[in-house]
């Protein structure tokens, strides 16, 4: 399978005014590394407010003016410039936004799904295609004439999914597609992603819902305090979590009500308070001395990756 | 203590059909109860009725035999899913807490609240941290009953355990009543002594 997207050491910071004309740089994403191939679903799992939606915005080149983006975002091996992103977005890469609030409230559904067209012939052609895809997702002709406020939650989700698929994208980025939906609709939405995967589309699922991630993702990237601390395979989230590598991922797995509801103390460092060394140092049970001042890199272990000195080659056990 | 709902029915003024019909429910402080229902089934409306925030319903809600007070401190407190919506955005966290009661340091510690968070505004904290404040604020010594409406749905699994663990400690210590409203069956099975399905008691 061909590699689609490579995100390497991406960091995003914002310039903020504190008092008067004093500025400070607030780092929200410190080090984000992940990759995604054709026909693969990769979930990025992080708590709400942790800044993971910024990843989607960075890929599409729609970060706000005061944001600083560092690191590389590569598509099919080629590093993307802002112009490339503008060229690719809506064509080969499509975004499924969080909610219908991203639609124009005064525009009919079918018109905005089709988007800009040069002439009538193109419009007709696109209209046929749009109808085909909408039909496939169980959206009847009456939906074409509706305005966004007339859609139910599940229908809205189907509209967003089918609109994203209109341009035959190779890569779909879904930003928090599940909150606010009832169980049946969540299941239905996740099935759409499985279906895309079967058609060879790469899906990047950005979510805080571990159940959703485990239901469909092939690999899961764990986002903690601005870092990707582990990329684990779905099958590792089983049994006692013994195949999970990072102590945070283990704790997260064991905290699920079905897996013991185990208590772990501590909290994620806030933006602006991120320590110099390992972000998990304060809470870690198996930390080394060096973890306090030295930041571990993401170690590549074939299909998995982990950001922890314990898994470095030649690392000794214990402290 | 006993929180009792008798023949509760509710419909929105513009709606044709009842959302809740003839609900009878008795809750006490001996058992931790779980209430389960699909989204849109009227769970939150029932919670608001039980805690006295929605008053245009038919039927009666009594707490220890008395009707719910319509002014003053509400001894039945309700915690929502979104803490950022229940706090004054222009108040610092210190003031948000103080509005309810003076929280002693040991309880702040128990809830994992850092001293430095007290001087921040709500928007400067994450959902998990805000929910700690929101819960703590509702744990005023005068509170007798706590209704948690999807309290931990937006939080990661670790924060969920932390908050529920701290709340349940206080609830048990003060012998308060606790109703957990959730769609997460595993969670209800883990912490509740008994569970109720809304569709079983709703006569719609």
A206-258 pLDDT, tens digit each? 998 898 999 999 999 999 988 899 999 999 999 989 999 999 999 999 999 99
Cβ contact (<8 Å) for A265 and B184? no
Please say if the pLDDT value at position A2 is more than 50: yes
Cβ contact (<8 Å) for B128 and A47? yes
Cβ contact (<8 Å) for A266 and B112? yes
Question: What confidence category does residue B154 fall into, taking pLDDT thresholds of 50, 70 and 90?
Answer: confident
Please say if the pLDDT value at position A121 is more than 80: yes
The verdict on B158 touching A (C-beta cutoff 8 Å) is: yes
Partner residue opposite A263 with nearest CB, options B124, B162, B184 = B162
Determine which of B32, B82, B83, B156 to mutate to test the interface with A (most A C-beta atoms within 10 Å): B156
Cβ contact (<8 Å) for B161 and A255? yes
Question: What confidence category does residue A314 fall into, taking pLDDT thresholds of 50, 70 and 90?
Answer: low
Determine which of B85, B161, B165 to mutate to test the interface with A (most A C-beta atoms within 10 Å): B161
B23-26 own/partner pairs: CB under 8 Å, 24+ apart: B23/B59, B23/B201, B23/B202, B23/B203, B24/B201, B25/B50, B25/B196, B25/B201, B26/B2
Partner residue opposite A257 with nearest CB, options B112, B156, B187 = B187
> What pLDDT is recorded for position A1?
75
Instruction: Report the SS3 class of residue B151.
Output: coil
Contact A81, A120 (CB under 8 A): no
Cβ contact (<8 Å) for B156 and A258? no
**Domain spans of chain B?**
2-201
Distance CA(A252)–CA(A229), nearest Å, equals 13
Spell out the residues 6+ positions from residue A292 whose beta carbon is closer than 8 angstroms to its own. Answer: A275, A276, A277, A278, A281
- DSSP secondary structure code for residue B15 in this structure: -
Question: What confidence category does residue A319 fall into, taking pLDDT thresholds of 50, 70 and 90?
Answer: very low
The verdict on B118 touching A (C-beta cutoff 8 Å) is: no
* Closest residue, chain B, to A223 (C-alpha): B156
Distance from CA of A272 to the nearest CA of B (A): 10
The verdict on B15 touching A (C-beta cutoff 8 Å) is: no
C-beta neighbour count of A234 within 10 angstroms? 16
Distance CA(A37)–CA(A35), nearest Å, equals 7
The verdict on B123 touching A (C-beta cutoff 8 Å) is: no
Which CATH fold topology does B2-201 show? Rossmann fold (3.40.50)
The verdict on B193 touching A (C-beta cutoff 8 Å) is: no
Cβ contact (<8 Å) for B161 and A270? no
pLDDT in tens, A276-299: 889 899 889 888 989 999 889 899
Quote the pTM value: 0.85
Residues in A touching B187 (Cβ below 8 Å): 257
Cβ contact (<8 Å) for B162 and A49? no
Of A48-52, A196-200, A218-222, minimum mean pLDDT range: A48-52
> What pLDDT is recorded for position A78?
92
Match 């209209």 to its residue by tokens. A127
Residues in A touching B160 (Cβ below 8 Å): 255
User: What is the mean pLDDT of the segment spanning A149-163?
Assistant: 86
Nearest Cα residue to A35 out of A304, A236, A310: A304
Residues in B touching A262 (Cβ below 8 Å): 161
Question: What confidence category does residue B84 fall into, taking pLDDT thresholds of 50, 70 and 90?
Answer: confident
Contact A173, A204 (CB under 8 A): yes
The verdict on B64 touching A (C-beta cutoff 8 Å) is: no
The verdict on B168 touching A (C-beta cutoff 8 Å) is: no
Number of cross-chain residue pairs from A and B with Cβ atoms under 8 Å apart: 69
The verdict on B124 touching A (C-beta cutoff 8 Å) is: yes
Please say if the pLDDT value at position B23 is more than 50: yes
C-beta neighbour count of B71 within 10 angstroms? 5
Distance CA(A193)–CA(A157), nearest Å, equals 12
- DSSP secondary structure code for residue A89 in this structure: B
From residue A20, alpha-carbon distances to A68, A273, B47, B121 in Å are: 21, 22, 45, 18
> Helix and strand tally (H, E) in chain A?
9, 12
Of B57-61, B80-84, B134-138, minimum mean pLDDT range: B80-84
Distance from CA of A263 to the nearest CA of B (A): 6
B22-26 own/partner pairs: CB under 8 Å, 24+ apart: B22/B59, B22/B203, B23/B59, B23/B201, B23/B202, B23/B203, B24/B201, B25/B50, B25/B196, B25/B201, B26/B2
Cβ contact (<8 Å) for A47 and B157? no
Distance from CA of A227 to the nearest CA of B (A): 16
Please say if the pLDDT value at position A318 is more than 50: no
B61, two tokens: 């809600």
The verdict on B165 touching A (C-beta cutoff 8 Å) is: yes
Distance from CA of A176 to the nearest CA of B (A): 12
Distance from CA of A47 to the nearest CA of B (A): 6
> What pLDDT is recorded for position B161?
94
From residue A11, alpha-carbon distances to A79, A226, A272 in Å are: 15, 8, 14
> What pLDDT is recorded for position B128?
85
């Amino acid at each position: 399978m061909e590699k689609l997207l490579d995100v390497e050491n991406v960091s995003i910071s914002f310039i903020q005014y504190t008092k008067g004309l004093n500025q400070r740089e607030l780092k929200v994403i410190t080090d984000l590394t992940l990759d995604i191939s054709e026909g693969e679903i990769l979930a990025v799992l992080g708590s709400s407010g942790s800044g993971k939606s910024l990843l989607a915005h960075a890929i599409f080149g729609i970060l706000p003016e005061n944001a600083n983006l560092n690191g590389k975002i590569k598509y099919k091996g080629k590093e993307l410039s802002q112009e490339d992103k503008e060229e690719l977005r809506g064509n080969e890469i499509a975004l499924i936004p969080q909610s219908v609030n991203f639609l124009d409230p005064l525009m009919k559904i079918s018109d905005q799904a089709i988007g800009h067209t040069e002439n009538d012939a193109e419009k007709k052609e696109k209209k046929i295609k749009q109808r085909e895809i909408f039909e496939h997702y169980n959206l009847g002709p009456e939906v074409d004439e509706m305005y966004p406020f007339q859609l139910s939650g599940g229908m809205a989700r189907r509209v967003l999914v089918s609109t994203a698929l209109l341009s035959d994208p190779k890569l779909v980025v879904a930003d928090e597609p599940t909150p606010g939906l009832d169980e049946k609709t969540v299941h239905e939405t996740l099935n759409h992603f499985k279906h895309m995967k079967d058609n060879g589309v790469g899906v990047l699922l950005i979510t805080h819902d571990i159940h959703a991630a485990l239901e469909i993702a092939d690999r899961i990237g764990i986002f903690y305090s601005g870092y990707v601390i582990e990329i684990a395979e779905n099958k590792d989230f089983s049994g006692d979590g013994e195949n999970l590598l990072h102590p945070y991922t283990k704790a997260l797995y064991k905290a699920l009500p079905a897996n013991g509801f185990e208590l772990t103390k501590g909290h994620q460092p806030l933006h602006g308070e991120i320590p110099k060394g390992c972000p998990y140092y304060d809470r870690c049970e198996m930390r080394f001395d060096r973890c306090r001042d030295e930041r571990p890199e993401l170690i590549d272990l074939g299909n998995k990756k982990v950001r922890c000195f314990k898994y470095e080659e030649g690392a000794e056990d214990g402290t | 203590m006993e929180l009792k709902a008798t023949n509760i029915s509710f419909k929105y003024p513009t709606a044709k059909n009842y959302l809740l019909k003839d609900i009878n429910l008795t809750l006490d402080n001996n058992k931790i109860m779980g209430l389960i229902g699909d989204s849109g089934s009227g769970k939150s409306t029932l919670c608001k009725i039980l805690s006295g925030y929605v008053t245009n319903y038919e039927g009666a809600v009594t707490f220890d035999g008395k009707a719910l007070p319509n002014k003053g401190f509400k001894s039945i407190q309700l915690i929502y899913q979104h803490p950022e919506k229940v706090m004054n955005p222009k108040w610092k966290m210190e003031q948000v807490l103080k509005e309810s009661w003076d929280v002693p340091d040991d309880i702040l510690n128990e809830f994992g609240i850092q001293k430095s968070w007290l001087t921040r505004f709500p928007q400067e904290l994450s959902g998990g941290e805000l929910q700690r404040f929101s819960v703590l604020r509702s744990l005023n010594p005068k509170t007798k009953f706590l209704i948690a409406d999807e309290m931990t749905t937006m939080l990661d699994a670790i924060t969920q355990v932390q908050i529920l663990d701290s709340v349940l400690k206080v609830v048990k210590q003060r012998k308060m009543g606790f109703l957990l409203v959730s769609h997460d069956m595993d969670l209800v099975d883990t912490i509740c002594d008994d569970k109720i399905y809304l569709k079983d008691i709703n006569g719609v």
